[in-house]
């Protein structure tokens, strides 16, 4: 988040452990206070940084549950996370972390968000982060700084250029499909 702050963004940390979200149930239309905080903060954001540990080759169950709560944004206008820019970070205990990044990319796309091409899969996370969560590896620190800055840069472009918005692109694509059929 330091990279986003240094690029001029206002930041808010939503720590899933502190939110203590209940398990999402598709039949529930009324979110808890914690789920409402998550939903409203995500919907109001121009950009986000998503970070998840990698467990069994994918994102954590808690992170997936948080993403599931965002399904309640489907009835909004614009729906879901339309036109929001998302930077992706994974932390793994082993030598790779791209599987979690790929899962987050699919989730961002399904929620109509845009993930920035620059991603940070952190391998051997226990050596990179201290018990206090601080980055001990200068190289990874620089990568995280760059990701925060890049997410803000792209979010600012989206916010300032109406032609870049996904809603307009989706409508043009739908019109082309309708004309061809």
Pull the structure tokens for residue 3.
């990279």
Helical packing angle, 33-44 and 61-69, nearest 10°:
70
Of 3-7, 20-24, 36-40, 148-152, minimum mean pLDDT range:
3-7
More confident residue, 133 or 152: 152
Residues 6+ apart with CB under 8 A from 26: 71
The CATH topology of domain 2-180 is Rossmann fold (3.40.50)
Burial bucket for residue 153 (CB in 10 Å: 0-12, 13-18, 19+): middle
Q: What is the pLDDT of residues 68-100, one digit of tens each?
A: 999 999 999 999 999 999 999 998 888 778 999
Separation of alpha carbons 136 and 130, rounded Å = 6
44-58: string of b/e by CB count within 10 Å (b at 16+)?
ebbbbbbbbbbeeeb
Determine the pLDDT at residue 173.
61
Q: How many whole angstroms separate alpha carbon 28 and alpha carbon 10?
A: 31
What tokens does 40 get?
């409203």
pLDDT tens across 29-66, in order? Answer: 899 999 999 999 999 999 999 999 999 989 999 999 99
Q: Averaged over 151-178, what is the pLDDT?
A: 74
| Contact indicator for 107, 84 with CB cutoff of 8 Å | no
Give the pTM: 0.86
Q: Model confidence at 171, in pLDDT bands (50, 70, 90)?
A: low
Residue 90's DSSP bridge partners are 52, 121
pLDDT band for position 174 (50/70/90)?
low
């Amino acid at each position: 988040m330091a990279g986003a702050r240094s690029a001029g963004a206002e930041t808010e940390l939503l720590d899933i452990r502190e939110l203590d979200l209940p398990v999402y149930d598709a039949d529930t239309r009324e979110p808890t206070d914690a789920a409402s905080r998550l939903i409203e903060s995500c919907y109001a954001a121009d950009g986000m940084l998503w970070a998840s540990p990698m467990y069994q080759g994918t994102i954590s169950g808690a992170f997936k549950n948080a993403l599931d709560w965002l399904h309640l944004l489907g009835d909004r206008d614009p729906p879901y996370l339309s036109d929001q820019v998302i930077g992706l970070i994974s932390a793994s205990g082993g030598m790779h972390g791209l599987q979690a990044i790929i899962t987050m990319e699919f989730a961002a796309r399904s929620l109509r968000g845009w993930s920035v091409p620059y991603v940070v899969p952190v391998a051997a996370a226990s050596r990179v982060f201290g018990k206090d969560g601080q980055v001990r590896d200068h190289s990874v620190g620089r990568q995280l700084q760059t990701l925060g800055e890049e997410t803000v840069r792209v979010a600012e472009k989206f916010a300032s250029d109406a032609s870049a918005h996904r809603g307009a692109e989706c409508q043009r694509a739908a019109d082309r499909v309708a004309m061809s059929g």
